[in-house]
Structure formats: C-alpha cells, structure tokens
Structure 1
C-alpha cells in the first residue's frame, strides 16, 4: 500500500469520525447536522477544520468549571421551581406563563415594586448614567460588550474615576473582543490607576491557541449597569457615541435603554457578579444579601440572562412564547434576524390568526451576511401577513418586543443564531401598560422613519439577489 493510499484512508477515517461526532452531538437541530455534514464532505480539509473550530459551542472546560463554582457560591434569588407565592406580583393569568418561561431560564422569579423610565436617546442615556454614577454612594458596576474611547465612552470613564476618588467601589468589565480598542488603550490603564477595578470578559489570550481551549467567537454581549443595589439599566446600547466610529458609514446607531429602580436591579446584579467572579478572584456574594425595599407602587419585572452555558434554546423559547401569546398586536425591532424554523413559523402563525404583526429592521445592515440571510425570510413573512419595515434613519440597533400593549421584552438579544447559541445576553421582561406604551411610542417613531417592504418589491428582486440571500440563509445553521 503506497503512501498516497494510506493518506486517503486516514483522511476518510477522520472524516467519518467527524461526521459521527456531528451526528452524536447533543442539542443540535437536524438541519444543522445536515449542513455540517455537507460542509465536511464537500470541503475535505477545510470542512473538518471549520467544524472542529466553529462547529460546537465550546467555551472551554476550565471556564465552565469556574462558572459552576461561582454559581454554587452565590445565593439563590428564587426557587428554581418557581413557587406560587413568587408569582403573586400583579401579573394576570394570561401573561403568567411568560414569566414562568423566564424563571425556568435564569431562575429569577418576577419581582414587583419597580419603576422605570425610557431614555430619550443614546446621548441622554449616557448623560443620565453619568449623573447616577456621580450620585453613587456605595458601588457602581458596569459591563459592556463594546466600550469605545470616544466622547461618550470617556464620559463614563471620567465619572467612574470621580466616583472612585470619593470612595465608591467601582467595577468595570468589558468584553475582550468587542472592547479591544479600549482595553489596549491608555484609557483602560488610567481607570485602573484612578482606583477603578477592571476586568476583561472572556479573554482571548493567544489567538492561535484559543480555538483549542474554546471557541474564540463566544462573547459576552451583555450591557449591564447597576448602582447602589436598586438602580439598573437595560437595553441595546453599548458604551459609545451614536456615531459609532468603528462603523461610521452606518451611523447613527439607534438604541433604546430603560432605567429601572427597584428589586429587579438585584437580578441584574446577580448576572454581573456571576460574570465578575468568573474572571476575578473577588467574592461579591454578600452584595446579593442586602435587602432592596420595593417602591410603594410599581410593576413586576424579571431579568432573563442567557448564554452558551445556560439551557440550550433558552432565548428562542422566550421569543417564541411571547410571539405565540400575542392576541391583538405584536411589534418587534431587531437589527439581526436569522431565525430557526420554529421562530419563523411562530411569526407567520401569529399573522395568520389575525394579530397585527409588525417587525422593523434597519434598511442598511452593518453585516452583509446577516442582512442577506434576513432578506431570505421576507417572502414567507409577507405571505403570512407580517408587515415588514426597514428603518432609514441609521442602523436600528434596538432589540424590543411589545405584546398587546401590556408586556415588553427589552435588552441585548437579537433574533439570530449568535444570540441564541453563542452570546451571553441580558434582557428584562416586564408587565406594565404605561411603560409598554412608552416603548410602543418609540417603536412608532421608528415606523415613521421606515419604509414598508411590499410583496411586490420582494417579487421584483433579481434572480442573482434571491440566489445570494437563500444561499446565505441555507448556511445559517453553520454560521
């Protein structure tokens, strides 16, 4: 047997082993298995390498073990089985099941007595954060996926330095990939020198060795601010100017953020502390024991934290539960839409049963790949009666869902496979007609700056465009 024949047999054996691994891998949809098998077979060497590097959600055994130890040390905020008394929070029976889904994901029961305010725009959000940091008395905790050393990014850094100077405990964390510009700059070291405690989320380390210890593209996409136990922010905004200088041609970035006061801040605190203690040898569990008195009047809310070490399919389950629950109106804004089949079917079914279903995308997507994949779903959505709009006032980055004018989900999660499987995300689900109406008004502002996509316009797309869109969407399970 010559060398060439032996090499071929070795390759075939490796290919068979990889295909068996694809088939046996748990928590994978059949379409994903099939797509990866096609890649492995048609691209003999590159396909095998691609699967070994990107085909599995592997964050690394050491990281998983450390996270598990952290969660074991932290006090539980609620019972995992969601006791009945935890749901006596003014949530009507027709929406009760939504919060039970949320509780099953993160273990956080809905808590009443919260008040909140929808921020006017990105700059107003930063200004209010600075004001709150300047008023902090005990601690300030921040976590951002992208934190840039631009005007708004520096305003937050300066506020943290001022707070640290007067004795407030400031902890700032940023994702190693999304915030690499800041982390590698002098600003990061200046914050540390000023007394701000810093940490890097999911550090990459050596990029050549990282793939062998876990996927390099598993990121912490959360945006969390917690101040003095009872104040928190939640939304889509990174710590940056709306001009977003890393991608200026798509600017302005259009985001929505809500400032919450009340017991729900404890749940965001729990998420932040779990992320912090995973990277830093500092036990912050005592901070979760401080009681937070609820407001005399307020609404129920619940944090939903998801990620690759949380239950598989958690985020799509939450989205689909909300979609299926709509009875009169469903309005969604998301910059990235690459759904699985069940989510696409859920949206279509909602429109078919007469619910006024609207979804707003950015007209120009900063990701050509994701934009093409999103467009492949337009025809089916439009046939079902879903109304599609494309926002033309910048890159619509807001991730929001309003349900029947009563329930809202807002946060960091997109409706794409990255948010479903690869990113750590944080969202807040709340029941309050008044605040939901404010979010609806914001969504209506987006609609006023959007162009409706018609079935006729989609039918007029060229064959080449359709071929591109559908090919990219077909690769969705492996992206």
Structure 2
C-alpha cells in the first residue's frame, strides 16, 4: 500500500508540474486540472492521462501536415489568392476572412451559389437525386451515420452509383459512427464497390488510450458530388428523429446545397482526411472544379482540427463577432465557450450591436446546459438577448452579421469544437443568402422562449451554485 501511495504521489507531482509548465493552457484550464488532480486521488491522474493532453501522436501530426502541404502544392488554384479578399469583401468584414485564410490556406473565392434547404425532407430528396445523377465521383464524410431512413437511403444511393461505375468514397468517424462501421449495411456498401474508411479508428482501444485521446474526433460533415455540388451545414447522416436520443427529437439542422469554387475547397479538405488513412491514393484521383458560377458570391472554407495551433476557432470567431456593426445572431446547441468569447459577446452588445443567442431549451447534455446557463446573467446584463428553442434539439450552427455575412457548418461554440474536433465551415458574403439564413434564425426565435434577466435573478441558490460548479470544469470538458 505504501509503495502504491508513493507511486501515486510521484505521478501526481510530475503531472502537476506538467500542467503548470504547459504554454498552451489558460489559467482557468490549469486551475481546473489541478483541482481534479488533488480532489480525486488516483482517479485524477488517470483522467489526465486519458484526457489532459491534446495530441494524436507526433507521427500522425507530421504525416497529416505533409499531406496538407502536398495537396496545397499540387492544386494551388483551389486555395485561391490573397488578392481576391480586398476586391470581394467590404473592408469592415475582411478581418475574419483574412484570419481564416492565414490558418487554413483557403483564401476567399468568387462565383459561389447556395440554396438553403427548407427542411430535412428536402435535404434528403435533393441529396439522393444528386447522388443518382452523379457521373464521376461522390465523396462523403460524416461524424454520425445511423442505420435509419436517411442512413439507408444514402447508403443505397452510393451502392447504385458504385454499380454504374461512379467512384464512391465514404468516410465516417470511428467513435460517432461505430455502430455503422460494424453493420451489415456498411459491408453491403463495401461489397458493392464503395470505398469505405474510418477516420480516427478506435479498433485498437488500448493503443488509443495509451498514445492518443479517444475523444479527439472528426466532427466534419462533407458531401461532394462530381466536384461541382456540395452540401454544407450541421446535419449528420441521420433522421431528425435521431434514434440514439429520441427524447430530445427532432434534431433541427440547417443545410446548404452549394456550387462554385468553395466546393473544391471542401473537396481538398475531404482529400486530406482520406489520404491520412489511405496515403497511397494518388493525388490525381481528386478532381477540383474551380469554375465560378454566374452571379455568384464570395465564400471560403474555414476548417479546424487538433493538429492546428490552439485557439484557432475562438480567435476566428472573435474576429468575426467583433466585426458586427448592427446585428449578430448565433444559434448553437452547445455553448461552452472560453471566457474570451463571452467577453467579446458582451463587448459587442455594450457597443450597441443587437446580439441574439439561440440555444436548445432541453439539451441532450445536462453538463452543457448547466455550463451555458452559468453565463446567462453576465450576457443578459450586457444586453444580449437569449432564446431557448422549445420544439426539439436545435442542432443548427449558424452565425449572421448585419445581414451581410453568414457562417454555417459543424463548429459548436464549445471547447470540444475549439480544441478537440476536426471541423468544417463555410463563411459567405452575400446579402440574399444571409437574409434567407436570418429568416430561418427568426423562425427559431419564434419557436423559442426568451430568457429574461429577472428570471435568472430568481433562480434558486442551489441551482446557481450547480451551474457555476459545472462551468468551473468547463476548461476540461
């Protein structure tokens, strides 16, 4: 027993020194980890070993960067050029576009068009129709792919396409789609000639736990058809009823059907993930169509992942939010931000911008719900309007600014999206499209209940304490 106690004490000191020495931790994250280490004997050391370090292994990160560099060098036209930004984007909105280009390599493109899908049914119908019309290739990457109506329809469309000679590549996250990977449907796709792959596989669980983190995931949602048509937004390959958590259904998502050069950027993003698992795939097998659409708008891909520098997403969002002059509307299912983002939201409201946040009323994570509500008082005091959506789980990740700029994609306003997940988004400058997305946001607001400051002030003391305790652990969630 004394030997075990001694080993634990030595490990505790070593890990504590590691926490204190890390340059990529915020003060709050250091404090949260030190609290966990010292109030949870033995368990705290194990928890830090499993979840404290953000890495996928040096060899993985090196190979991934090499792949991205090769893709950029092989097809530089996909990246576009720095000169487009000043010509295409108003000066007051250029900062976020410039930041995104700097960290991803994807610059602003011209000549993009997008249709906002009316609902889940239209998304499914249009997607399957595009699959059935494909002549060259279909590439899909989903965090969650369920064996339900949407999942089966998508798989069957891929099988039909593969049988008529279309190159089909389907990739899923190893954790989010673990049941699909082991399903009969997955095997049927494989047998039909669909090239299937798993991003960040967890088949060797011991290796993952010892040398990586099981919760570093590929959260992207990418669909590219013939290099010309893409779908971007928040929806996984699943029905709104979302069978793993029917209690919170329907899952309410937002999707765009996109055409233009920004599709090529998502294609390159898919290629980087595919080549990470299949490095022998020829670069030439990925086709990029950068032909501009008539009367198209400016847009670019913003992607993030755990191999990039820490703070990329909150810094990008901070730059974007700080550009708002009149209105800022955000919807997100998971609001566990770093404090700098809360401060920027408050500062934006204090300088006279009408800031509106829309969250689900009933969140599928009680931890996220408590953490989100711990910030309500401060946000409301600054003049931010907060709405909680009632009909289901609002899963749409949307951001609009001044009726001019819009952002949609896979990134939540939480630390998982900021630090742990591979994400993909599209930032667009177009009044007509932004107006359509804002109309959808106002529809969310209509179906929501507004949270007033007086209501928050009446929360019971135990409830406030619970929310604040949970939010204290926010940096390690």
Q: TM-score, normalised by structure 1?
A: 0.96
- 2:230 corresponds to: 232
- The CA deviation at 1:60 is 2.2
- 2:471 corresponds to: 473
Structure 2 CA distance, aligned partners of 1:376 and 1:397?
Answer: 20
- 2:20 corresponds to: 23
- 1:46 corresponds to: 43
Instruction: Give the secondary structure class of the aligned counterpart of 2:265.
Output: helix
Q: Where do 1:61-460 residues align within 5 Å? A: 61-76=58-73, 84-287=82-285, 290-460=288-458
- The CA deviation at 1:82 is 8.8
Structure 2 CA distance, aligned partners of 1:444 and 1:298?
Answer: 25
Name the stretch that deviates more: 27-36 or 10-19: 10-19
Task: Show CA shifts across 1:155-187 (max 9, x none).
Answer: 111111111111110000011111112111100
Q: Gaps spanning 5+ residues in structure 2: where?
A: none
Q: Is the 8 A contact 1:330 1:358 kept in 2?
A: yes
Structure 2 CA distance, aligned partners of 1:284 and 1:466?
Answer: 56
Q: Gaps spanning 5+ residues in structure 1: where?
A: none
- The CA deviation at 1:75 is 3.1
- The CA deviation at 1:292 is 2.5
Q: Would the alpha carbon gap of residues 195 and 81 (structure 1) be closer, same or farther in structure 2, given more than 3 Å must change?
A: closer
Instruction: Give the secondary structure class of the aligned counterpart of 2:205.
Output: coil
Q: TM-score, normalised by structure 2?
A: 0.96
Structure 1 CA distance, aligned partners of 2:276 and 2:465?
Answer: 44
Q: Would the alpha carbon gap of residues 57 and 43 (structure 1) be closer, same or farther in structure 2, given more than 3 Å must change?
A: same
Q: Would the alpha carbon gap of residues 61 and 122 (structure 1) be closer, same or farther in structure 2, given more than 3 Å must change?
A: same
Q: Is the 8 A contact 1:273 1:284 kept in 2?
A: no
Structure 1 CA distance, aligned partners of 2:360 and 2:185?
Answer: 32
- The CA deviation at 1:66 is 2.7
- 1:59 corresponds to: 56
Q: Would the alpha carbon gap of residues 318 and 388 (structure 1) be closer, same or farther in structure 2, given more than 3 Å must change?
A: same
Name the stretch that deviates more: 66-75 or 242-251: 66-75
- The CA deviation at 1:69 is 3.0
Q: Would the alpha carbon gap of residues 476 and 74 (structure 1) be closer, same or farther in structure 2, given more than 3 Å must change?
A: same
Name the stretch that deviates more: 9-18 or 307-316: 9-18
Structure 1 CA distance, aligned partners of 2:339 and 2:86?
Answer: 35
- The CA deviation at 1:400 is 0.4
- The CA deviation at 1:70 is 1.7
Detail structure 1 runs of 4+ shifted over 6 Å in the superposition.
79-82
Task: Show CA shifts across 1:253-295 (max 9, x none).
Answer: 0000111100001100011000001112442422556443111
- The CA deviation at 1:315 is 0.7
Name the stretch that deviates more: 225-234 or 68-77: 68-77
Q: Would the alpha carbon gap of residues 238 and 89 (structure 1) be closer, same or farther in structure 2, given more than 3 Å must change?
A: farther
Structure 1 CA distance, aligned partners of 2:69 and 2:328?
Answer: 38
Q: Is the 8 A contact 2:78 2:261 kept in 1?
A: no
Structure 1 CA distance, aligned partners of 2:214 and 2:82?
Answer: 41
- The CA deviation at 1:81 is 11
How many residue pairs were aligned?
476
Q: Would the alpha carbon gap of residues 321 and 238 (structure 1) be closer, same or farther in structure 2, given more than 3 Å must change?
A: same
Cα-Cα RMSD? 1.7
Q: Is the 8 A contact 1:409 1:429 kept in 2?
A: yes
- The CA deviation at 1:61 is 2.8
Structure 2 CA distance, aligned partners of 1:147 and 1:83?
Answer: 35
Structure 1 CA distance, aligned partners of 2:18 and 2:80?
Answer: 36
Q: Is the 8 A contact 1:123 1:242 kept in 2?
A: no
- The CA deviation at 1:341 is 1.0
